[in-house]
Chains A and B, each alone.
Chain A
Amino acid sequence: MSVRRLVGQADRPLLITLFFIIGLGLYNLASAGQPLGRSLHVSHGAHIAVGLGVMATVAAVHYRNLEGLAYPIFGLCVTLLVATSLFGKLVNGSRRWLVLGPVNIQTSDLAKVAVILVVAKAFHMERWEGGLTLRDIFRPFNLSRPLVVIAAVLALSLFGEGLKPAKLKMKRGRKFRTVQTLGPDHARIQLGREKGEGLLGVKRSGVAPVHAEIVRNGEGDYTLRDLGSEAGTFVNGMRVTEAALEDGDVIRLGLSQRAEIRFSASIQKLRTALPFLAVLGAGWLFLAGFLQLRKGGWKADDLVAPIDVVMVPCVLILAQPDLGTTLVVLLIAFSMILFVGVRPLSLAILAISGVAFGTLAWFTLLKPYQKERVTTFLNPEGDLAGAGYHQHQSLIAVGSGQVWGKGHGQGTQTQLSFLPEQQTDFIFSVWAEEQGFIGSAFLVVLFCAFILASLRIAARARDRFGALLAVGATAMIFWHAIVNMLMVLRFAPVVGVPLPLWSNGGSFVLTTMIAVGLVLNVSMRRNMF
């Protein structure tokens, strides 16, 4: 089979739309880079060039071979994710980047590709006709489920706070940052004006040199004691001399709003749930074991479930923490499983329990500041100086583009730096401002055409694995594009999801090109055996 014939099989509509998107993206980045004084289109072009090479390579290997490599690749990715949470570079309180010599890799990007491969692998042999039930997907009576619960109970009771230490957080800029970790090593922390050994510096007006102290009595059990300060110590606005701290309490030294310290100890809630969890785990294990015994015989499938290949990376990414990427990975997997087919009843149960869980979480689990984030999104005008500012400026940029746009390099929001993150998350705003409705509608249609072209490839794939692989890759690009656009247009909260092929950033460009490579791969093998 000649290479020429192989290339001739490559899908034209896909490639044409791809090159249009890439070309316009570079043109747009040239404008976005101006106010930053950087030639972003050059570095981005280099990433794209490398990406095209990677794409060709991925397309060249028959995807049947990839099917065989799925689990090894998945294993490698999970290893990288674990390594990231252990040795990753700490940026703004989360570990997302793994530094390997001269390159920084955002390992969760690679995990997206791995999840596509491995979900395709795990689900393509499932029963497609008639659709899957929830039980097929989650396999609640497989032994691994109760075992995970029991392992969690054990870990919590053995290591306790070591796993999730209590923390003191203070507002730095717009966000709360951990300023002190509590635990057996820090059994007594004093709060006061000056910094020192065992003394947390809170340099705010009205704070005494040694104002108050926090003493550890046991697992997650902390007492706050005022040390005779003049201005007083407050917990949730009430003046106290001594108080037991609960998760989410706000400690204030004196009257200054800026001397607020948030106490966070999620271990407390977990500890109260521990006996319940233990009983649950034991009962579950018993039931699962009984069912297993009755069925007789053991298979590897009886221990784990296909959905686990999604859950393991998701938990690891969520722990980084990176909520946006976790959501995207879930959406990709969900799209693929939907493509395999899910029974309508199961879908309905899933939807209802999702809403129920959300409501429950709002009233019990979510802390006030987390609720605040949600309300900020729902009512952004209330917080223009804070989190709402970015989207506000983005909306102005988009709206002020009007029909024809302000022209390349002429967007005031972009060129005068009113637009935040204009080279990454808000790159679409730059285009919408400078090219107007005509330009942005064209881009939306282009992306739509690209997604449809790759769906067409999935529909015409030679086999189910190929179809699923193409759907996964398509889903990845689609969800990124749509979530990014919704965010830019304030139909979704700011979650930090880039626009594929447009946002500046090498790691994600490569990931996207791998995904396109997978789709091409499937398209090229359509008529071959």
Chain B
Amino acid sequence: MSLPGEQNRDPSVALPRAIVMGVVVILAFGVILGRLWYLQIGQGEAFRDRSLNNFVQSKRLDHARGEIVDREGRVLVSNRPSLDVSVTPAFFPNAKRMMVRLGLSAGLSRAEALDKAKALSAAVRDGGSAFLLATVDEERAEAVRARQRQLEVPLEAVPILEAPADADGNPAFAVYVDPNRFPSTTLVLRRLRALLELDDDAMKKLRGRIGRARGLRRYRDIPVRRDVQPALEGRLSLLVQLGELPGVSVRRSNARDYPHGALAAHVLGYTNELSKDELQARKGQGYQMGDTTGRRGVEKTFEDELRGTDGRETVVVDSKGRSQRTGLAKQLMDEVGVFEPPAPGNRVVLTLDLDLQRAAEQAFEGRKAGSVVVIEVDTGRLLALTSTPSFNPQLVSGYFDPAEKARLDGMRALRPWRFRAIQDYFAPGSTFKVVTALAALKAGVTHVHEKVRCPGAFRLGKARWRCWKESGHGLVDAELSLAQSCDVYYYTLGARMGLDPIAEMGRNLSFGDRTGIALSGESRGIMPDQDWYAKRELYTLGAAVNVSIGQGAVSATPLQLAVAYAALGNGGTVYEPQIALRIETYDGKESREVPPVVRRRLDLEPQHLATVREGLRQVVNEPFGTAKRSRLKDLQFSGKTGTAQVARMGKKRVKSRDLEWKVRDHAWFSAFAPSTDPQIAVVVFVEHGGGGSSAAAPVARDVIDAWWRKRQRQASLPNEPLRIAVVDDAREPRP
């Protein structure tokens, strides 16, 4: 049977074509197999690493910065828990969405609901009052309540009141919306602002950062305020827990604690966050965004000791960066997780004695600006180091307290940030006369018994220099010249030997160069010699005359003077002044002593030294001494007053206290105690304080008195004297 087109139905031609197609199919799947081979076997390792990078995130484990304690182990700086507030834009309430959904539940159309959402945002912005969403029947009211619970909108944000029944007598309800309670981003920010007392500037910045967060960055935290006042903690945590602040999180972290406030602030320094540029510069050292670093003082110079190292912990995250706690995540942790515990920073034990530091600051009270230095004569270790005015590191670290900022800005003229003990240098005035005396004796231009006549002034050519005592001192020898601070005696010696012998002695006693203390920003001061003057102006003998009484170009930091007087006290050894006594690990198991460093031993004739020391003793302890009013009953100490001229005096002598503060003389007092067998050297500098004997000496006396009394107390308790001191302080060192 042959139907039309039957020959066209013959299927035999299909076979060869199917075979060709089959080959093409095999080739195509072969390509897939080859690609799989390349990806899974050839590049498998590389892709495995990349998949690890996808889900393994390294989390830092915070660690404590090292403590700073005084020589007796009393805490000067430690850490305390702090409260940080941040916001996560992704978790802010979406008022519009919630409002629309509530509106739909209340039976509004989508357009109406959108209108209500707009009305809500307008009311929130303008602080409007509650408005009606809809009047509904009982069933709808239930629906609204259910939706509200589902959306976690607080009950009081959507008050539902009974309304007059409808025509059929069915109960009706009026659903209101309270814009002051309905969760919205604006409301959250407003509450946050009120709580943290943020100013306009901070709010603008915060809004900007929130606005710029898009995509996955909306899940990242934006810090609002570090270290919130502890008083706010309760309210903040409560509000967060009640859900009144959706999108706001409060987290604990470590903040630096300075329990003694402004005490020794310049020595200790403070800490705050690294800036972007610094972060860039210190990348190699493992600093990261948000890390704090020491600023000024020990916090800065001992940064590497105090810092410690962060721990590391791996976290398994999903594609949105959320950490996972599923079985798979735990299993992956076992396979690829690492845990490195954090290492707290080392403890720096300072040479400072808290008692003495406190005594020094108390003794200085009432004076506007200046510094006190107390140093151990036989080691160069500093017992106290003050600089006034000061700042409170507690209020400066991390979040700069606005009140403290205002206070510090208010006294800008007094330069509160300046560490006067080491950074500022001033003419040392008469305290420098010991250098001139020793230089002249050494140079042989005089001997210990020579008497020079002081008629109240000194002439050299046409020039005339006044002695501070107009009537003159009469015949003056080395001892008396120190005791009464006769200027003419030194003018004479200066003119006899010229500048260079003075400069040499000065340099040997540490003037004109850094003492080497481990604090940053130390100044050199100036110890001019002939070359120095020749390079700048003309060197004349007049320069030597000026420098001989510590005026002219010579200037020194209080610390330099302290080092020099310590050398006088110990018989001629110049030590490097030290602030750190010992570095310990956080648990105290290992420690490293910082040994005293001798910089120079002066070759002084015992007779010369004895004469100078006797002169200094008389300054305080003889009725004719310039600091006789500052003597102590039960302890003899030696010292030298200094009154350094700031403004050139006119012909008429003016009493310093009648002058404007800025041009008043600087007051100095340099001392060591006790007079026989000296233990400590003390330098007091009062900026524009007036006379050394009236402004500076009493401070030194109080400090020495405090030191002596503590020493007496310890001597009467021969066994374990240090224990008492530790109990004295309420704070226990943190482990």
Contacts and interface: CB of A to CB of B under 8 A. Distances in A.
B624 interface: no
B25 A478 contact: yes
Interface in B33-49: 33, 35-37, 39-41, 43-48
A403 B18 contact: no
A413 B51 contact: yes
A444 B32 contact: yes
A488 to B, nearest CB: 9
Given A399-B39, A416-B324, A444 B29 contact: yes
A177 interface: no
Interface string B511-549: 000000000000000000000000000000000000000
Contacts of A444: 29, 32-33, 36
Given A124-B8, A416-B318, A491-B31, A129 B13 contact: yes
A127 B8 CA distance: 7
Given A448-B26, A459-B15, A486 B51 contact: no
Contact of B40 (A124, A398, A456, A464): A398
A441 B33 contact: yes
Interface string B39-67: 11101111110111011000000000000
A409 interface: yes
B579 to A, nearest CB: 52
A437 interface: yes
B21 A339 contact: yes
Interface in B405-440: none
A398 B14 contact: no
B13 A399 contact: no
Nearest to B317: A416
A412 B54 contact: yes
B540 to A, nearest CB: 68
B18 A482 contact: no
A355 B615 CA distance: 109
Contacts of A432: 36, 40
A180 interface: no
B48 A402 contact: yes
Contact of A399 (B15, B26, B31, B40): B40
B332 to A, nearest CB: 7
B9 A465 contact: yes
A395 interface: yes
Contacts of B649: none
A461 B43 contact: no
A461 B18 CA distance: 11
Nearest to B43: A399
Given A399-B44, A437-B41, A464 B19 contact: no
A416 B19 contact: no
Nearest to A409: B328
A436 B36 CA distance: 9
B28 interface: yes
A270 B15 CA distance: 47
Contact of A412 (B15, B37, B332): B332
A440 B11 contact: no
Given A412-B51, A465-B9, A403 B44 contact: yes
A395 B47 contact: yes
Contacts of B52: 412
Interface residue SS majority, chain B: helix
B360 interface: no
Given A396-B47, A482-B29, A401 B40 contact: yes
A400 interface: yes
Interface string A401-432: 11100000110110111100000000000001
A451 B28 CA distance: 11
Contacts of A127: 8
A158 interface: no
Nearest to A339: B17
A341 interface: yes
B22 interface: yes
A58 interface: no
Interface string A463-492: 111110001000000100010011001010
Nearest to A418: B319
A396 B18 contact: no
A321 to B, nearest CB: 27
B328 A455 contact: no
A6 B439 CA distance: 128
A505 to B, nearest CB: 22
Contacts of B48: 399-400, 402
Interface string A322-364: 0000000000000100110100000000000000000000000
B88 to A, nearest CB: 20
A444 B13 CA distance: 29
A128 interface: yes
A455 B316 contact: no
Given A339-B21, A412-B54, A452-B25, A437 B320 contact: no
B54 A396 contact: yes
Contacts of B22: 452, 455-456
B94 to A, nearest CB: 17
Interface residue SS majority, chain A: helix
Contacts of A403: 40-41, 44
Given A451-B25, A464-B8, A458 B36 contact: no
A125 B25 contact: no
Contacts of A456: 18, 22
A282 interface: no
A447 B29 contact: yes
Contacts of B286: none
B334 interface: no
Nearest to B46: A399
A399 B46 CA distance: 8
A456 B19 CA distance: 8
B319 to A, nearest CB: 4
B18 A416 contact: no
A506 to B, nearest CB: 26
B5 interface: yes
Interface in B543-558: none
Taking each of A341, A412, A436, A463, which has the highest tally of chain B beta carbons within 10 Å of its own beta carbon?
Answer: A412
Contacts of B51: 396-397, 399-400, 412-413, 418
A27 to B, nearest CB: 17
A489 B36 contact: yes
Contact of A489 (B19, B35, B320): B35
A461 B14 contact: yes
B10 interface: yes
A440 B36 contact: yes
A146 B5 CA distance: 31
B29 A448 contact: yes
Interface string A5-44: 0000000000000000000000000000001000000000
Taking each of B5, B36, B44, which has the highest tally of chain A beta carbons within 10 Å of its own beta carbon?
Answer: B36
A225 interface: no
Taking each of B11, B17, B41, B54, which has the highest tally of chain A beta carbons within 10 Å of its own beta carbon?
Answer: B11
A86 interface: no
Contacts of B55: 412, 416, 418
A416 B54 contact: yes
Contact of A467 (B5, B14, B28, B54): B14
A338 B16 CA distance: 12
Taking each of A396, A418, A441, A466, which has the highest tally of chain B beta carbons within 10 Å of its own beta carbon?
Answer: A396
Contacts of A437: 36-37, 40-41, 44
B41 A486 contact: no
Nearest to B48: A400
A257 B284 CA distance: 35
Contacts of A396: 47, 50-51, 54
Given A395-B39, A459-B18, 19 more contacts: A124-B8, A335-B21, A339-B21, A393-B54, A399-B46, A400-B48, A402-B40, A409-B328, A412-B52, A415-B328, A417-B319, A432-B36, A447-B29, A455-B18, A455-B25, A456-B22, A459-B17, A467-B18, A491-B35
6 contacts: A398-B36, A399-B50, A400-B44, A402-B47, A452-B26, A463-B11
The 3 closest A-B pairs by CB, nearest first: A399-B47, A459-B18, A402-B44
